[in-house]
Amino acid sequence: MPDQVRIFDTTLRDGEQAPGCSMDLSEKLEIAHALERMKVDVIEAGFAIASKGDFESVEAVSKAIKDCTIASLSRARKNDIDAAWNAVKQAKSPLIHTFLATSPTHMRYKLRMSEDEVLQTIADMVSYARNLCPQVEFSAEDATRSDLGFLVKAVDAAIRAGAVVINIPDTVGYTTPNEMSAIIRHLKDNVDNIDTVTLSVHCHNDLGLAVSNSLAAVTQGARQLECTVNGIGERAGNAALEELVMVMHTRPDLYKQQCNIDTTRIAPTSRLVYSILGVNAPINKAVVGQNAFAHEAGIHQHGVMANRATYEIMTPESIGLRQNQMVLGKHSGHHAIEERLNTLGYTLNKEEFNQLYDQFKALCDRKKSITDKDLEALALHRHKQSSMLSNYQLERFTVNSGNCTTSNAVVSVTHKGERTEEVALGDGPIDAAFNAVDKLIPAPEHSLEDYAIQTISEGKDAQGEAIVKIRCGDRVVTGRGLSTDILEASILAYINGMNKL
């Protein structure tokens, strides 16, 4: 039997640490459920000690997810480890992930600790964590810039203290595939009992080598890959889950190892994460970019029409992209819509589906035909709608604007059953509408950092998706809105963002 490679997803922890990538609790739960459906082995749900919000989100994911191990990151400190354990202890399969730096640079300038002090701390804190939780992972931060002789001692100390997973992070994205292979091989050859634990790698993409470094580690015996959906993460990001999985899936001749991932869930999960963060995939993004399966050159088109294998090494269907198979409209029933959503990779509970179906029927009154993109947009925005039910909701609006007049907007919202209305002027219709919303929703001092709108599908009646980013001090929230009216979509997005503030 081929070896098993575990997929450790840290989208909710390392991914969220990227600037502008913060998520609220409902969005984290949405992503966690998508990861569970995709069959990742481990979900790192957050850094429990970091804040009350982080603790609550790790705890909520631990309670909600049943088919994945749930991890919380912690420094090698008792209070960090206690927080991590308290956050994950209700998980069906909890894991404490603790770390300490082992490179000369980090030990000298950040930790201000000697090698002996670092080794003792590793032994003490891994042992402390193991007494709380049967699954403990130890990460040697900045491992790829560590002295190999000392790294052997650190890994040995962690194993003797009870760690069941040893992670070798390329924390600053510095190493190369040949170097990563050599590090893993050296550990396999020089650490006693190394075969009793799972070797893991966590690679950053500063030099564009995160996926290559991760796969190089697999060839030398690493059996856990730490990654994020779409490769999001600090600085240039992390190894991209979809790229790692599809390399192994496409090249079984080179990688005999298998992973549990349901590849048909890759595209929907990728779109979900991009939607929640309010960004789009680069058009040339590997596996999930707009052009990943596009062919413009005539010779390529001719080859693909003759046989897709001429220029496609994987199929769109293998990652969950499918062609529209039916026409959807106002006469489509519950069963047809639910079946189409399932085919597209979306699983909704009864309440979510009923809400989406009502929105679908309303959209049918505005659009002649409904495409897969329209249906996906409704599915992706359902968490936004649910989160607004107890907050401010748009009731109605009127905007007057022109090139020879000052724009003005009247916006009405409801909140806890009460309706309020305000009027405001602005430099254009969007500015006027946003100024009216500012009067209606009390929030801390803030500024609009970014605003964008794009069409979801083709035609004059296409839905528009508006995305706003609102800054309040060091915090940036993303608001999203969807409508066939771009002004309405923009106002909905701004209200969604203001509700988060």
SS (HEC) of 254-289: CCCCECCCCHHHHHHHHHHHHHHHCCCCCCCCCCCC
Instruction: Tell me: pLDDT of 193 over 60.
Output: yes
For 5-78, list the strands marked E by DSSP.
6-9, 42-46, 69-75
Instruction: Tell me: pLDDT of 297 over 70.
Output: no
Q: Helices 372-380 & 266-277, crossing angle to 10 degrees?
A: 60
Lowest mean pLDDT among 105-114, 347-356, 386-395: 386-395
CA pair distance 454, 461, nearest whole angstrom: 13
pLDDT of residue 311: 56
Instruction: Tell me: pLDDT of 411 over 90.
Output: yes
SS3 193: coil
The total of other beta-carbon atoms located within 10 Å of residue 1's CB is 5
User: What are the tens digits of pLDDT across the range 28-70?
Assistant: 999 999 999 999 999 999 999 999 999 999 999 999 999 999 9
CA pair distance 13, 87, nearest whole angstrom: 14
Instruction: Tell me: pLDDT of 440 over 90.
Output: yes
The one-letter amino acid code at 58 reads V
Please choose, from the candidates 40, 100, 499, 491, the residue with its C-alpha nearest in 3D space to the C-alpha of residue 265: 40
Give the ranges where 39-190 is alpha helix by DSSP (H).
Answer: 52-64, 78-88, 104-105, 115-132, 148-161, 177-190
CA pair distance 122, 37, nearest whole angstrom: 35
393-402 vs 224-227, strand pairing mode: unpaired
pLDDT of residue 469: 93
CA pair distance 194, 352, nearest whole angstrom: 47
pLDDT of residue 455: 86
Lowest mean pLDDT among 203-217, 224-238, 294-308, 449-463: 294-308
